[in-house]
Amino acid sequence: MRSVFRAVSLVIVGLSTTTWALAQTEGVKETERMVKSGESTIRAIGEGRQDTKSALDAYNALVQGGSSESMKSDYKKLLKSEKAMNSEVADARKAIADMDKQAAIYFTSRSTQISQIQDPGLRDQAKGRLENSQKGYDNVKAEMRAAGDALAPFSSDLSDQIKYLGADLSPGATASLKPQAEKLNARGDALFAQIDKATASATTYFDSLRSQ
């Protein structure tokens, strides 16, 4: 009976060790998924910025004049840029939502692993690092979400001015839009700076999670 009990105990210990090892491995995988999700979001925001800037540049080329091509040709290019912009802006906002879902999984997994640490001091130390990491993520998420949210109204206002030109594609119409174009470009400069700041902060944060 003692031999059987000892054998069963060894099996239980072995299973516990295996379960713990699997949990640790899964924790590493969750971190990798978290970093990958962050990278995808940074890339999506960056592409949204790039295509919005391209659409704004195409708009300026038409409104400000000086293009070697006809207004009709410039307008066709503008419509193509607008389509790409709207698609990327939608993708950027979706990527932010997906990142937040992955973050919830990551922090829950990390918290579960920390709860299994037996040493109270070490466990508290790990909890402190987790709290700091969560605060860092919350700041990154807020900046990224604000940047993504700011893209939508800007692209919408740009689209309105593109529609204005579509209804009256003439030198007089482009001249009449110059006051609005100046305001739109000032907003664009602020928006692009906001996105650059958000993506730089996000890059620093997600790099800090990587395994060296």
Residue 148 within a domain:
yes
Helix pair 120-167, 178-209: axis angle to 10 deg: 160
- The parent domain of residue 152 ranges over 32-209
- Read off the pTM: 0.81
Residue 205 within a domain:
yes
Residue 46 within a domain:
yes
Taking the C-alpha atoms of residue 151 and residue 88, their distance in angstroms, rounded to an integer, is: 10
Residue 179 within a domain:
yes
Sequence-distant (≥ 6) Cβ neighbours of residue 42 within 8 angstroms: 199, 202, 203, 206
Quote the pLDDT of residue 156: 94
Residue 7 within a domain:
no
Please answer whether residues 117 and 126 qualify as being in contact, where contact means their C-beta atoms are separated by less than 8 angstroms: yes
Q: How many domains would you assign to the chain? A: 1
Quote the pLDDT of residue 106: 93
Quote the pLDDT of residue 6: 58
Residue 124 within a domain:
yes
The tokens describing 32, both together, are 């990798």
Q: How far is CA 97 from CA 50, 71, 103, in A?
A: 20, 39, 10
Residue 12 within a domain:
no
User: Would you give per-residue pLDDT tens digits along the chain (212 residues)?
Assistant: 555 555 545 445 444 445 445 445 666 888 899 899 999 999 999 999 999 999 999 999 999 876 666 889 999 999 999 999 998 888 888 899 999 999 999 999 999 999 999 999 999 999 999 999 999 999 999 999 999 899 999 999 999 999 999 999 999 999 999 999 999 999 999 999 999 999 999 999 999 988 76
Residue 26 within a domain:
no
Quote the pLDDT of residue 11: 47
